[in-house]
Amino acid sequence: MPTTPQQSIDQIFTHHEPAILEGWMCEQVAALTSRQDLMSTAALRTQSQAFLALFTLACRDGGLVDITGTPWAPVLDFLADLSSQRAKLGFTPSETATFVFSLKQPVFARVREELGADVGTLVDDLWGMNVLLDKLGLYTMELYLKSRETVIKHQQLDMLELSTPVLNLWQDILAVPLIGTLDSSRMQAVMENLLGAIAKQGSPIAIVDITGVSAVDTEVAQHLLKTAAAARLMGAQCIISGISAPIAQTMVALGVPFGSVDTRATLADALAQAFAQTHRQVVVMEPQAY
């Protein structure tokens, strides 16, 4: 029977799937990159077995050259899931790609045994298989990196949330203490959080404290002004406190029209103003004799 590489590979997988799986498991577990702390051997085996089944079908129906065709779609989907799962679990890119690359060894061993003396076919087979597994490996790597980026983006969003809390300083008085470097996307988050809190709680006063802010550029200043203007339309007064001398100078130099906004030197001044406006008074008590 004349063997084309495709037929022989197909048959090797169909007839020797258990042996290939065993060989592959050995490779994966023995690899320096095996991460049994992140994934149990049993889970790895299930995953490997599922992959082999899909891979065998795709080799038979789709050929070994073009992995973009429909028969290969289930294999690619499987790898996409695997990549994002491993990205979330904390595998590195090379640990992830090892999944595919380590399949080479057991497959080559099988091919060699099967084809014995037929060297010509063997070379073709080996070459085809090598290229194919490299393609899949690279595909896996690419998707891994994409998933990783998504994870990082989520973390950044979480950070944004964490770094801009809206505090209930007192009944009717909200405050946002800003610290560090302000950029446009962070200011957008601050603005939306604060206005959302005003609407939800019906707070008539909101203090934005920028004592901990190192520098303010025009864009950030515009956001502050916009926040104040929107708050006013919602029925809340916005007080900006903690403008340092250098920031005040920059504001004037940039020509930012801060005249329309309430500003106070310190958070304490802003709070005093807020108390006055909500008809509250802070009284210092005489020390009591015991």
Partner 1 sequence: MTTSIPIIAFSELLLVTIQGDVSDEQLEALRAELCERIQVTRAKGVLMDISGLTLVDSYLSRTLVALTTQSRLLGATLVMVGMRPDVALTVVDMGLRLEGVNAVATLEQGQALLRRLALASGQEGGHGHHNT
Options 39, 80, 189, 234; binder of partner 1; rule CB under 8 A: 234
Integer CA distances (angstroms), 28 to 24, 32, 59, 135, 161, in order: 6, 9, 22, 19, 40
**Considering only 30-38, 43-51, 104-112, 194-202, which stretch makes contact with partner 1 by CB under 8 A?**
194-202
Tokens, residue 143: 């998707």
* Cross-strand bridge partners of residue 170: 173
DSSP assignment of 136-151:
HHHHHHHHHHHHHHHH
Please name which of 245, 248, 12 lies closest in space to residue 128, comparing C-alpha atoms. 12
Decide if residue 198 touches partner 1 (CB under 8 A): yes
Please name which of 209, 200, 215 lies closest in space to residue 253, comparing C-alpha atoms. 215
Decide if residue 289 touches partner 1 (CB under 8 A): no
Decide if residue 236 touches partner 1 (CB under 8 A): yes
Decide if residue 226 touches partner 1 (CB under 8 A): yes
In sign, the C-alpha dihedral spanning 102, 103, 104, 108 is: positive
Q: Which stretches within the chain are classed as H helix?
A: 5-30, 41-62, 73-89, 93-101, 104-115, 119-163, 184-201, 218-233, 245-254, 267-277
Options 6, 49, 204, 247; binder of partner 1; rule CB under 8 A: 204
By the 8 A CB rule, do 141 and 93 touch?
yes
Options 83, 203, 241, 263; binder of partner 1; rule CB under 8 A: 203
Distance of CA 149 to the CA centre of its chain: 5
Least distance between partner 1 and beta carbon 155 (Å): 26
Decide if residue 233 touches partner 1 (CB under 8 A): yes
Least distance between partner 1 and beta carbon 223 (Å): 11
Decide if residue 235 touches partner 1 (CB under 8 A): yes
**Considering only 67-75, 97-105, 193-201, 281-289, which stretch makes contact with partner 1 by CB under 8 A?**
193-201
Least distance between partner 1 and beta carbon 92 (Å): 42
**Considering only 24-32, 84-92, 153-161, 200-208, which stretch makes contact with partner 1 by CB under 8 A?**
200-208
CA–CA distance, 215 with 133 (Å, rounded to integer): 52
Decide if residue 77 touches partner 1 (CB under 8 A): no
Nearer to partner 1 by Cβ, of 52 and 230: the residue is 230
Nearer to partner 1 by Cβ, of 75 and 191: the residue is 191
Least distance between partner 1 and beta carbon 221 (Å): 14
Decide if residue 229 touches partner 1 (CB under 8 A): yes
Segment 3-42, which members bind partner 1 (CB under 8 A)? Answer: none
CA–CA distance, 290 with 126 (Å, rounded to integer): 95
Decide if residue 145 touches partner 1 (CB under 8 A): no
In sign, the C-alpha dihedral spanning 102, 89, 139, 15 is: positive
Q: How many CB atoms lie within 10 A of CB 240?
A: 22
Rg (C-alpha) for the chain, rounded Å, is 32
**Considering only 46-54, 66-74, 119-127, 202-210, which stretch makes contact with partner 1 by CB under 8 A?**
202-210
Decide if residue 231 touches partner 1 (CB under 8 A): yes
Decide if residue 191 touches partner 1 (CB under 8 A): yes
Q: Give the binding site for partner 1 (CB under 8 A).
A: 191-192, 195-196, 198-199, 202-204, 226, 229-236
